[in-house]
Amino acid sequence: MVQTKLCIVTHTFLPHVGGIEKVVNEQSKRLLQKNFEPIVITNRIGTPKHYIVDRVNVECYESLNTGFRLGIPYSIPTVPSFEVFLKAVKSSKIVHAHGHPYLTSLIAAKLAKRYSKPFVLTQHNTFINYDNIFDKIERLNDLAVGKETLKEADKIITVSRATKDYVLSLGARPQKIQVMYNGVDLQHFKPLPGKREEMRRKLGIRPNAIVAITVRRLVYKNGVDTLIEGASIAIKKNQNITFLVVGKGPDQVSVQMRAQELGIENNFILTGFVKDEDLPLYYNAADFFVLPSKSGEGLPLVALEAMACGLPVIATDVGGIGEILIEKWGKLVPPNDSSMLAKAVLEFATDDFSSRRIELRAEMEKKFSWDKNVERLVEIYEELI
């Protein structure tokens, strides 16, 4: 049977680590099993021009990446890179871009229209507040690049209702939009009996400690300032609480220094970067998960991963997180409110969730999986081809 060629455009991809990269990877490797032949077109960041990830071909374009150094992952493709997009679009039956505000998505949209190829756009996040000049730049880019990309799309996939509202505010047509929640790799992220004690020994955490884990890139928009101030309040009221912070980022040193200033460095463990294959071990070392985001959350994969491992979730009420929290295992608090975050942590610290982990896991198996996500994605493609 002849495979359907599919061009997937994303501003970054593996080995660069991030949410969109993970979504594209999980979908593309499953699309191979659905008689599609995906090719990923992405920014070249320290990679060869051509490489393969999970049997999926990746082609890179050259670009100016000044924004990355400023904590803004926005690439500007060079003029010669146009050939990479042109070749991939012309040879494909359908074009699928990720993220409305990127110039690469707009290029893909315009080429798809020029060569009469269906164009699908997935929007992953809501508006990201930086609380500086970048807010104005982001809004201008939304009005220029973002609105035009949305206008060209034959189908717009949003990962939550909150993300749908965001693209509607930019003029997207309601009839084009399909809400489709992200999935989680249920084979990889799961309860691991016996690993809790082993990981705690490895990390130097007391066996009887109450462990709150977060998996975040350590940057302002992810709420690390709220997390550390809330942690200080909670730890001072309950010395048995330990925070396990997984991830790295430009604010890592300042977070470490702030923990020392607050005198909580022994209860606030920064692990640095952890490979995806090892993340389930860290989730299984914890009692519950904390997501302190300020803005921009469409549907955070880390929350799904934590719940798939049986962890209840405390999250700030931003974006689409409230749409996936399951009653009895989730609590929402206001963003930028360290006192309310600490109150929720102290509340969860007194509740024994261990006997209910399997029940939460069962709920996740019913509602979220990448296989179900890709089945719906294929239906969308087939409607357009």
Q: Output the 3-class SS for the chain.
A: CCCEEEEEECCCCCCCCCHHHHHHHHHHHHHHHHCEEEEEEEECCCCCCEEEECCEEEEEECEECHHHHCCCCCCEECHHHHHHHHHHHHCCCEEEEECCCCHHHHHHHHHHHHCCCCEEEEECCCCCCCCCHHHHHHHHHHHHHHHHHHHHCCEEEECCHHHHHHHHHCCCCHHHEEECCCCCCCCCCCCCCCHHHHHHHHHCCCCCCEEEEEECCCCHHHCHHHHHHHHHHHHHHCCCEEEEEEECCCCHHHHHHHHHHHCCHHHEEEEECCCHHHHHHHHHCCCEEEECCCCCCCCCHHHHHHHHCCCCEEEECCCCHHHHCCCCCEEEECCCCHHHHHHHHHHHHCCCCHHHHHHHHHHHHHHCCHHHHHHHHHHHHHHHC
Do 317 and 269 belong to one domain? yes
pLDDT score for 25: 98
Judge whether 118 lies within some domain.
yes
**For residues 200 and 284, is the Cβ–Cβ distance under 8 A?**
no
Domain holding 35, by residue range, is: 4-183+369-384
Do 363 and 374 belong to one domain? no
Do 170 and 55 belong to one domain? yes
**Residue at 136: amino acid letter:** K
Q: Which of 15-29, 125-139, 363-377 has the lowest mean pLDDT?
A: 125-139
Total tally of structural domains belonging to the chain: 2
Do 212 and 233 belong to one domain? yes
Report percent pLDDT > 90 for the chain: 84
Do 112 and 231 belong to one domain? no
CATH of the domain at 13: 3.40.50.2000
Q: What angle do CA 342, 346, 350 make, to 5 degrees?
A: 165
Do 246 and 295 belong to one domain? yes
Q: How many CB atoms lie within 10 A of CB 65?
A: 17
| 58 phi/psi in degrees, rounded to 5 | -125, 130
Judge whether 189 lies within some domain.
no
132: confidence class by pLDDT, cuts 50, 70, 90: confident
pLDDT score for 73: 76
User: Which of 381, 328, 372 has its CA nearest to residue 181?
Assistant: 372
Tokens 């009005």: give the residue: 143
Tokens 């979908």: give the residue: 27
Report pTM: 0.94
Judge whether 109 lies within some domain.
yes
340: confidence class by pLDDT, cuts 50, 70, 90: very high
Do 139 and 221 belong to one domain? no
Judge whether 188 lies within some domain.
no
CA distances from 189 to 193, 250, 293, 311, 355 (A): 13, 27, 22, 11, 18
Is the predicted pLDDT of residue 129 greater than 90, yes or no?
no
Do 51 and 64 belong to one domain? yes
CA distances from 131 to 112, 127, 221, 228 (A): 35, 12, 9, 19
User: Which of 246, 300, 305, 252 has its CA nearest to residue 274?
Assistant: 246
**For residues 221 and 294, is the Cβ–Cβ distance under 8 A?**
yes
Q: What is the pLDDT of residues 212-259, one digit of tens each?
A: 999 998 886 689 999 999 999 999 999 999 999 999 988 899 999 999
**For residues 144 and 128, is the Cβ–Cβ distance under 8 A?**
no
Q: What average pLDDT is seen over the chain?
A: 94
Is the predicted pLDDT of residue 362 greater than 90, yes or no?
yes
Q: Which of 149-153, 163-167, 174-178, 358-362 has the lowest mean pLDDT?
A: 358-362
**For residues 275 and 238, is the Cβ–Cβ distance under 8 A?**
no
1: confidence class by pLDDT, cuts 50, 70, 90: low
Q: What is the pLDDT of residues 96-124, one digit of tens each?
A: 999 999 999 999 999 999 999 999 999 99
The pair of three-digit structure tokens given for residue 54, joined into one six-digit string? 């999970």
**For residues 294 and 336, is the Cβ–Cβ distance under 8 A?**
yes
Do 55 and 74 belong to one domain? yes
Judge whether 190 lies within some domain.
no
**Residue at 232: amino acid letter:** S
**For residues 331 and 350, is the Cβ–Cβ distance under 8 A?**
no
Judge whether 43 lies within some domain.
yes
Do 165 and 202 belong to one domain? no
pLDDT score for 261: 96
- What length does the chain have? 385
Is the predicted pLDDT of residue 70 greater than 70, yes or no?
no
Q: How many CB atoms lie within 10 A of CB 236?
A: 14
User: Which of 372, 378, 384 has its CA nearest to residue 186?
Assistant: 372
Do 128 and 245 belong to one domain? no
Do 374 and 249 belong to one domain? no
